[in-house]
């Protein structure tokens, strides 16, 4: 009887230990794809590249894009690739690219790589975007190119213009993704066109913001903070005050480090909107 009781206790102890270990393992498991939706696959004879975003689509404007590379022979995902990309708009008379970041690995042991692409134009019946991805694995180079779907944004989120200094600038809305009646963290991107394929980040400028509600007497809001950089090569951060739901026009002025305005107008009693602006509605 004692022998049987000891055996039962030992079995229960082992079962509890296994459950505890299983619980611990589950708690440390991270789902890399949590919150992401695959919107396209690109293939060559060796690999399949899966493209992901939080919305499951691309759109005219700023896009955060994540990808992973699957070996077609083993179905295993590659963890040690070096990746770059080049988006290209194909037009009747010319081709051009758009602002885009380097592609970086998110975590050492993970399989996801990430970056951003800011499409300043939408596709149409005769003009289209494709994406070329070059990558290297263990010293071997690979490439694949595929047409991608970039429909027009429902609201104005991109401004492309030539400043008073003769430079062509691109300014894009990034965040908040889900604006609310509050003082929202705001993020924007500012780039310039160096040539048709090169669009570096503009450093040290200020993007002045003045949100207005045209349908409500064009009233503004308090405590807005103009967007500036915290470090070179990065996006710009500010504060966007929204006092009620509805349609807002975020009037913009782009200023150089010395304060010179290269584009945009200050809102006054007679000037009700700037020539550069974003639109949001919530």
At 28, the pLDDT band (50, 70, 90 cuts) reads low
CA distances in angstroms from 174 to 183, 238, 243, listed in the order given: 16, 11, 20
Q: Please count the helices (runs of H) and the strands (runs of E) in the chain.
A: 1, 18
230-272 pLDDT, tens per residue? 999 999 999 999 999 999 999 999 999 999 999 999 999 999 9
Q: In sequence order, what E strands does the chain have? A: 37-43, 47-53, 61-71, 82-90, 95-96, 104-105, 113-119, 128-137, 140-148, 158-162, 168-175, 182-192, 206-212, 225-228, 236-242, 247-255, 261-263, 277-281
At 30, the pLDDT band (50, 70, 90 cuts) reads confident
Record the pTM: 0.89
**Mean pLDDT across 211-216:** 98
194-207 pLDDT, tens per residue? 999 999 999 999 99
d(CA 20, CA 81): 36
175-199 pLDDT, tens per residue? 999 999 999 999 999 999 999 999 9
Nearest to 38 by CA among 73, 68, 80: 68
DSSP at 180: -
The lowest-confidence range among 20-29, 169-178, 250-259 is 20-29
119-139 pLDDT, tens per residue? 999 999 999 999 999 999 999
Q: Give the residue with greater pLDDT, 10 vs 238.
A: 238
Q: What is the pLDDT of residue 212?
A: 98
- Six token digits for residue 67: 């990808």
Whether 175 contacts 187, CB under 8 Å:
yes
pLDDT, the chain, mean: 92
Q: What is the pLDDT of residue 4?
A: 52
Whether the pLDDT of residue 72 is over 50: the answer is yes
Q: What is the pLDDT of residue 3?
A: 43
Q: Quote the distance between the C-alpha of residue 91 and its chain's center.
A: 24
């Amino acid at each position: 009887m004692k022998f049987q009781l000891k055996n039962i206790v030992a079995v229960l102890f082992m079962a509890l230990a296994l459950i505890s270990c299983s619980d611990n393992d589950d708690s440390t498991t991270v789902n890399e794809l949590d919150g992401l939706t695959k919107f396209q696959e690109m293939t060559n004879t060796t690999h399949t590249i899966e493209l992901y975003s939080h919305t499951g689509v691309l759109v005219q404007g700023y896009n955060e894009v994540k990808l992973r590379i699957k070996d077609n022979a083993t179905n295993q995902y590659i963890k040690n690739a070096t990746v770059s990309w080049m988006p290209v708009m194909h037009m009747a008379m010319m081709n051009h690219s758009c602002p885009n970041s380097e592609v970086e690995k998110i975590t050492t042991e993970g399989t996801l790589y990430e970056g951003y692409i800011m499409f300043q134009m939408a596709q149409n019946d005769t003009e289209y975007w494709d994406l070329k991805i070059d990558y290297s694995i263990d010293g071997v180079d690979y490439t694949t190119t595929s047409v991608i779907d970039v429909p027009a944004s429902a609201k104005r989120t991109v401004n492309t213009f030539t400043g008073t200094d003769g430079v062509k600038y691109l300014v894009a809305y990034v965040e908040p993704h889900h604006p609310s009646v509050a003082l929202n963290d705001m993020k924007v991107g500012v780039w310039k066109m160096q040539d048709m394929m090169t669009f570096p980040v503009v450093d040290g400028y200020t993007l002045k913001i003045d949100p207005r509600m045209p349908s409500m007497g064009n009233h503004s809001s308090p405590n807005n903070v103009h967007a500036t950089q915290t470090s070179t090569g990065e996006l710009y951060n500010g504060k966007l005050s929204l006092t009620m739901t509805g349609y807002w026009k975020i009037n913009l002025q782009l200023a150089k480090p010395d304060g010179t305005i290269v584009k945009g107008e200050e809102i006054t009693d007679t000037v009700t909107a700037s020539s550069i602006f974003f639109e949001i509605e919530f």
